[in-house]
Amino acid sequence: MPLLRPERPFCVNCAAMENAALDLERIAAGRDALVRGSVRVTTTEALAYQLVAPAIAPLRQAHPELQIDLVAGVRSLDIARREADLAVRFARPSASELICRKLGDIAFSLYASRRYLAKAEVPKRGHGLAGCDLITFTGAPTATSPFFMGESLEDARIALRCDNPLIQLSAAANEVGIAELACFLGDSSLDLIRVWPNEAPTRRTAWLIVHQDMRRSARIRAVTAAITEAFRRQRKTLGQGHAGEARAA
């Protein structure tokens, strides 16, 4: 007896019903006029540490019934499917239903410990990183390319792959090799120096992303305003790092 196969229209209808339910859920949440309940925010570990986490205390002082669910990591969550309400990312999505607000630029540079550079010698800018030990990510997100300030990686050695920039920082401080870090992070470590301190850092744009159906929600507006204000207060540090502030002062 032949096996019965489920009809394809049935599967299509199930998907359509699921999408419609998600649409209704977002629209209902977007009409919420009260600043209470949970808001799920996703971003990278570095931006969560420097930008989002410090914004939570004053936000909850103003709105004590608000709860922030902070999901940090390199994996992008699907806002359309309510995996997250807000995202702070370097990648600007192309989906028409998502609203993207430019927060500003984040500076990145190459960092290593003095002891590592004393043993391995400082590579020359523009001549590639051949022979260097590198600390990098497990993947290669296109939003953060080019990596390592555009230097050639031919004949370089990958010493460590890790998606957590705080662990990358620790590895670099312990002489594992050279890491490309956000300047606000790398400059904060007494054990690290910029490989090319006189070179301008690479800058990448950070975006605040929300679904258009959620933009009128009071709790979403409150969190986006807090993150935007936190970025405004730290604009110089985020855009040039602490060493840049010292040079500018």
The secondary structure of 134-174 as a DSSP string is EEE-SS--GGGPSPGGG---TT-EEEEE-S-HHHHHHHHHT
pLDDT tens, residue by residue, 111-126: 999 999 999 889 999 9
Pairing of strands 133-136, 86-89: unpaired
Inside any domain, residue 248: no
Quick one: 192 and 162 in the same domain?
yes
Q: What is the mean pLDDT of residues 35-42?
A: 90
- pLDDT for the residue numbered 84: 85
* DSSP bridge pairs for 112: 193
Q: What band does 216 get if pLDDT is binned at 50, 70 and 90?
A: confident
Q: What is the CATH number of the domain that holds 224?
A: 3.40.190.10
Q: What is the mean pLDDT of residues 62-91?
A: 86
- Do the beta carbons of residue 139 and residue 74 sit within 8 Å? yes
Quick one: 96 and 110 in the same domain?
no
- pLDDT for the residue numbered 28: 45
Quick one: 45 and 88 in the same domain?
yes
Peptide bond just before 2 cis, omega within 30 deg: no
- pLDDT for the residue numbered 29: 45
Quick one: 65 and 21 in the same domain?
yes
Quick one: 139 and 199 in the same domain?
yes
pLDDT surpassing 70 at residue 149 = yes
- Chain centroid to Cα 97, Å, comes to 21
- pLDDT for the residue numbered 22: 47
Quick one: 94 and 211 in the same domain?
yes
Quick one: 115 and 190 in the same domain?
yes
Quick one: 25 and 83 in the same domain?
yes
Q: Which domain holds residue 56?
A: 8-103+205-236
Question: Alpha-carbon distance 118 to 188, whole Å?
Answer: 21
- pLDDT for the residue numbered 95: 80
Which of the 8 DSSP states describes residue 197?
T
Which of the 8 DSSP states describes residue 212?
G
State the pTM of this model. 0.82
Nearest to 220 by CA among 11, 59, 14, 50: 59
Quick one: 31 and 90 in the same domain?
yes
pLDDT tens, residue by residue, 173-195: 999 999 999 999 999 999 999 99
Quick one: 181 and 222 in the same domain?
no
pLDDT surpassing 90 at residue 47 = yes
Overall domain count for the chain: 2
Residues 6 or more apart whose CB falls under 8 angstroms from that of 244 comprise: 107, 183, 187, 201, 236
Q: What is the mean pLDDT of residues 41-60?
A: 93
